[in-house]
Every structure is written in structure tokens, then in C-alpha cells.
Amino acid sequence: MFIVKEYVLAVVLCIVTMLCWGSWGNTQKLASKNWRFELFYWDYVLGILLFSIISAFTLGSIGAEGRSFVADLKQVSSTNLLRALLGGIIFNAANILLSASIAIAGMSVAFPVGIGIALVLGVIVNYSGAQSGNPYYLAFGVVLIVIAILINARAYQLKANTSAQNHSNRGIILSIVAGVLMAFFYRFVAASMDLQNFVNPEVGKMTPYTAFFVFAIGVFLSNFIFNSYIMKKPFVGEATSYRAYFSGSLGNHLTGIIGGMIWGLGNALNLIAAGKAGAAISYGLGQGATLVAALWGVFVWKEFSGGPRGTKAMLSAMFLFFILGLAAIIYAGL
């Protein structure tokens, strides 16, 4: 299987993760013109599962080092299998709330608030589980990102008008809950792998490719519970149905699948990089997706257009603190 052996390459892969995790939301924005997010989300989950299978039988099965996907799946212990499955279930609960927040508040709010919180808590959780990197630089980077989150939330509050305040508040609340849940999924997936030795992984542990596949199974299966409920009891608007999903156009379905595959690519690269960069740094950099998503939301989707005076200055400050925070996290691993 393909294994990363250099820290610089691990950082590059984490940056690609950042771009993928911060960009998949664009597919939801594109689909939302005529497609409910609950319906989009079924295809998104299929895209994640599809990419996990592709990565398992390509990068996860080539080369002489490590265990190939099929051999690895056969030897995994039930404990580690359940860990990766639970990681998928937690992620799906968090991500479906994040998708709802995107639908209500937009990418430039849902990501900086929700994924920003996930980044902060996730770095702490993953560092406590597998200590790797300078804790002082990690802490400094986390503090800077917290400041960026607070600035973004304040800018959004200033923009929201009185008539939309209830929906605006709901979008922020959903993103906060999503962020707290999102902080914990990665720890379970990382615990199912032997992060210290991908070349000769411990018996019963998984390679990143196998862990991703099992994680994706957890996402897929739990979606029949989570998304089915949200379809009947939506946060905003009328209930929808499976009939509405199957009546969607090919373009609608492909948009969701592509969105899931974009996220899946980022996740695969992030798990591969974790062996060299460590779980805390790998996860923290990947969740720098907040910055990427905010850029899309502000400059492409114009989600802050028409905001009151001072909004642009606050957004500039938010981007600055995010960049400095991410730089500190990268430096922590040198």
C-alpha cells in the first residue's frame, strides 16, 4: 500500500485535505437551487462510500509494504472494527447537522463556526490520545483559531436582519452542535489504526485504507436512521420523502456523489498523512477547511454581501487569525 514517509509530504496531503473538506459544500450549494439538502445528502454519503472502496483497491492494495486491503480487513479485531464504525456514526450525525446549517446560514458561517469548533476540540482530543507535535505551538494555533471563530460569528450576527433572526440563530446553533460532535469522530478512527507503524501494523489494527472503508460503512448505515428522521422532521421547510429522492434528475444525484467523493479524497489523504504527522496535526490541518469554505462563501457565493459597515474588516481579521493559527499548527510538527 502507499505509505507517507516524509513530514513535508504529510503536510502537503493535509493541505489537499483542507481544500477537499472546505470545498465539498459547493456541491450542496449548487444542488440547493432545486434540490433539498436532505435529498442531496443521500448521494453525498454514497459518494463517500464509493471513494473508500476505490482508495482501498488502488492505493490500499498496491506496493510491497504494509498489508493490502483485503488481507487487512480479514485480520482486524472486533474492537477496532467497532471503533471505526462508531467514528462513522458520530461523523454522520455531525455532518448532517453541518449540512443543515449550510442550508440555513451558508458556508461562510457553518464552516468557520462548526468546523472551527471541531478543529479546536479535535486537536485537544487527538493530542491527548496520541501525543505528537509541540503542545505549545498547537495550543497557540488553537487560540488564534478560536479568535477567528468568534469574529466570524459576530460578523454574521451583524449581517442577519431581524426578520431572519430565528433562522439565523438556528443555523449557528446547528453548526455549534455539529462542531462539538465532529471533534470526536476522528479519535475513534485513529484509535483503530496503528499510527506508529503503517509498514508492519500491529495485528488486529487497521491500515488507513481499511479504517476509511469501515468508517464509510458506519456513515452509510447510520444515514438510514439520521437522514430518514430529518426528512420527516426537517429543521426548516416541509417534510420530504424517498419518492422525491428517486424522482431527482441525474444531475442532482451526480452533484451529491461528487460532493461525497471530494470529501472522501480529503479523508483518505488525511488518514494516510496521520502516520507521519500525528493525529492531532493531521486532523487540525485538515479542518483548516474552515478557511477554504469561508473563502468560497464570501467571494464566490457572496454570503456577506449587503452586510453593515465594518463587516469586511471583521472578515479580513477572521482570515488573518485562521492563517496564523494554521501556520502555528504546521510549525508544531517540525
Q: Contact at 8 Å (CB) between 283 and 133?
A: no
Burial string for 280-289 (b: 16+ CB within 10 Å, else e) reads bbbbbbbbbb
Kindly tell me if the per-residue pLDDT of 71 is higher than 70. Answer: yes
How far apart (Å, rounded) are the C-alpha atoms in residues 17 and 270?
6
C-alpha closest to that of 71 among 82, 60, 81: 60
Report d(CA 119, CA 185) in Å as an integer: 12
Q: What is the model's pTM?
A: 0.89
CB atoms within 10 A of CB 250: 7
- pLDDT number for residue 280: 87
Per-residue pLDDT reduced to its tens digit, 185-223: 999 999 999 998 999 999 999 999 999 999 999 999 999
What confidence category does residue 58 fall into, taking pLDDT thresholds of 50, 70 and 90? very high
20 vs 286: CA distance, rounded Å = 9
pLDDT at 162: 40
Report which of 318, 257, 286, 183 is spatially closest to residue 27, judged by C-alpha positions: 257
